Structure 1
């Protein structure tokens, strides 16, 4: 069946379906939106909650602010209310919403009034809307209330309309993600009547409110904003439904906005204007800051303004980008074309007549060069902000240093000029005065260089032009020459100052690159996780001038402090809570974040392909100031490198574990193979002998019955030795072997083992040679006898038809016992490996013999008694193998005590 291309084109939007799936996995948010306080948002929410409870919904009241209204208070009857968390703030006890109690209770639906509320400083989140987001992530439905003036993008508009600054705001994305927005609306006249009746505030407060905020003009404007925002939300929902259902319609062209963030406080108004425009166009947007070379580190105010504007843009849903360059307009347009920007939003540049004589403003330059991108210029009406746009003047110390440097350099130039004029007769002395201008520009900055240019102009006229020692000029061409020299000096000062800024910027970038290079080089030689963490902590501290801690989450214990520089003994409960949040939520927490912002550290997750592997905490030197762009970039790069190094270390550990598992699997296979053979062979012989005796019984001759019984005895003994070996190996590996420490007569043990071996290995020759002066040793006679018997068994098994020789002698303070055969011997590469578990190198009758446990058990028993055991091959006439054991001889005093 052919597929219609039209049907394919009308398929549901995958992004819309993915967004729908993500919403279904979380709780649903319902916002009761109003134009102003007193319209009845809380009343409407509680009334609907009573209906939901009657329908069987598990409803809990988290926060409900009734403000003493009896009709609202009555709606709380019958609804479960969570107890609030009490905390101290500015010397008094206040009650706050307890998010931990809500998460523990985990109702189906929870009511939380006043979404824009600011929490107490010791709360996990500074804002109540962040508590709501955590509840939604936990799968709990939330109903909440909000006034339209608290929307972040409308805060400046409301301030201009009403004249009242809005301090508590909620990001627009919270309202955009709401499943339902219910508009609670009354007319301005009705609301004013409610104020007069005392249904909103107490009489004194209501009277002041009607004179300031609650005026018909303000209420009408706020009502319009609420209606418009609700209509936009309904339109967004309709678009989502159409996309999810693959319903055709006239879709709007995708818009993409770029909001330019400047260096002053006006940028926040530009960001809000860009957010409102992006919301109206349903467009994605980017907040861009272009860093001018060499200027960011010198102005803390600029760093603070830029940080606040970018953080505001991030809260409003923008992507954050930073670029660097001296041509600001060129950088903005290059970024815009690279990111497929359709509209640019920026603030109006201030009117600076002198500066505009030298160059165009940023706004004018972007308007001139932007031929294919629409440009929106935001006009700021607040005169106070305009005043703050004045250029930053040098401090008093910088002024005195600049003036002093200019005066000293010009004075020295005058003296040098006198000498040169006397010897050479300078035709144009103004040339040499470019030298102090350049020196001041490079060393002290542009202001000092301009001061040097002015002083050079005056000094050249006073000391070198006729009439000398007077500030007058006799010839017009001399005045023109001085004027040209002054202009050249000022231009030279500006260019030299710019080059100085470039040099500073390049030096900072070079230091950052050198730091990253050194860090990468150190990490390349480190494989252990602890070393990586300590090197990372010290490098981040050195590069950023901050205190750094790294925390890990081991498998069995809680979050632990793995590395810190400077050293930190322990962390308090709040810091651990912020670190745990960063680890679990994969987002920053602590200082200058939305989670536990009063914590001194800012914790950032170290994320790799396997998830968050660790948390890095950074404590700034000055908590009041944000990081500069350069410092932030360096720290971010180092943290990313640390995450990669940790991931690499974990991969190495995983590979080692995989190799160990593979080796264990190999050993398991060998053990099963050995067990299947070494258990089945004697059992088969025993079963066959028993069957013959049972079935043939009386028909067998006495000799045959004797042979069968002997075979049963031998095979049972073989089976018993094999099981004993397995038990001994298990005892050795588990540490359960505790040998005795008695005086052992080595000669007696050897003779007893010889008698046992002659019975067991009949037909095999075993001889002994014992030195007459052989002293006793400290150990366990039974274990030593077992070792010797295993060695004899191994020698007969692999040594061929030749005999076995046991020799015991004294060498210095040791007793040496050797077991030697004259078989084919062992390869030099296998002399150590033959003591490993399950290793079998020899062959008996064309097949591998034994389980490979005998020599491994011997080594374990010998070590347990304090001795050593090694193999030597060849042993005799370039053949055979010799096993050498050494034990410390017992001292005479110990012998006497034992006797």
Structure 2
């Protein structure tokens, strides 16, 4: 069976016209003879939307119960039974509202509308649907940062990316706000709030840009797929894309700036920095330098990419063609013109092989070795260099003398090969230039002593002249190849040593994590140091943050150091490090920087969480003060004003009732303020319980005495002969809060029960106090939320309270080394269980 196709009408915000566009699409298909039905339509009371659906067949919706209320939802089975060619499904991100009991009874049922849509597509039915850009899962965090609201109904991006068509339904922010003002989106009572919050012009503009960018990326994906499917390698300049080649050398920064300027000249232009690593891994820049290039690229608005290729020019052009680049930037060559003529460089090869991609050669101060900053070669030690020149001059003369003394034992071919062997040996010992000198000296001596006529530099036989010329060229070429192979061998040896050290580093990171002391010990061990320390520079000098072994206390006593950040360095004591070791050490420095950034990020996250929690608490407190604290104050004020009114004569009964109202309001106010103070003490950690033996029967009686409706509480504490270990004052607050909460949620005429006994778990000896109500109860998934500050779950009959009682009760219980939990009451309701440690048994003689 063929799978159906999905068409998505994407909008930046509600009200742009997605649903009407979906209905118009359905009507057009119906007019062409396609079987179209409306599977689900959410009109939200909009007359224009309902009118747009006239003439289209509507599949009846199924009825569900949610929180005791009947709701209608998409009936997938009915649509599958009807089997239309096209189904119109509104609001793809909608969540199916069902109770926990229904979910438990139907574990395989869909709870999201996009899952229903996938079922229709699997059955071969085409679906046309609607979606807001803020409902894309990948954009959830971005949308929250823009609007301050986190979307709870989202759709995975892969669902939308798998659509055959995504059509943007666009409307300018100004037009959308006018549509809102005219009442075409929300009811009149919600218009003002929407215009000043969700539908602010800046919010709408940002969401519109998100929708356009997301859709543009999807268009690029489709273009790439088309080019790949049709084998198109030519550049299609649909968007200006600039690729800049960087090598990590000094000119890289200017190349990045030039690429950013070129890309910024056209709307929608983008640029990418590319670093090509040799496949043999024998050359390249340090990890720290790559990280600097990456950071600089990000600062300038580009993206950084590292590719591996056997040839730099080939790898660069392959990448440029892969991203459909229109321009490539390369720096002017550092090599001399003679070297370029003998062997073209990367820039020359890119120009020759670029095809229809424009190539910009950017000049810089180091081009053609200007400024004396030519490409560095692998250095040869002075000892080896001296040995090479000794082989090129004295050894060559000595060989010529020996051959001159034994003319009957050899001929010109043997003499030439012996001189060539000496040139190769010179290249192995001293490198290129001693070998070149040796080749020239060997050629001259071979010509003077062994080529007729001897004793002169004249060559009688042209064939001998040709042989000497070939000897010279071959000697220089062999010397160059041997020198290059020797340098590659040296680089390979160094790379292997660095790889081994990096493997040790990786192993160390797995075991040390963020522990700077252990990491310092590992680094000191790798480099054979006696000690290492992390130093942070301050206005008063250097401070040692972490150390290992015989560590220096300042930069003056260090044998080596590496900079981690402008303010932080790692210093070592032991021996100086050469250049190769310092390059490897930069990898360790990079990890030190990551460790510090991670610590700072975690600290910042903790501070942000604390600030957010404090802000949430303050906001909730202000909201509570504005209502819950004012309510008892208003009652007290009204009753007191009535009593003081001289124009009214109150009877004794009325006066007593008003005074009781004042007293009741004052008690409620005292309770609210007491909970606020208790919460403040708990959050600041200033609760210091005085633990002693407490008789639970006396504690319960003392806590219930001042409570209103205490006559509804049934206390059954018989059989408990062991006291608890608790703070009597704190326990009084705990019991009072729990009982007040139970009374608030228990219907009139139904008692609240308070029982006590020993904890049934023998591994956790203690006393438990149970406060049992027979109210509506709380779902298992919401029980922990009961103990969060300012939480009021369900409908509270009394309508007052800050939602602090249970939070304070749990905090005070835990301060007494106890535990407060919530369990179901058999037959319905909630039971709050307080577990306290047993008081030590008294041993009598």
TM-score scaled to structure 2, two decimals?
A: 0.43
Larger radius of gyration, structure 1 or 2?
1
TM-score scaled to structure 1, two decimals?
A: 0.41
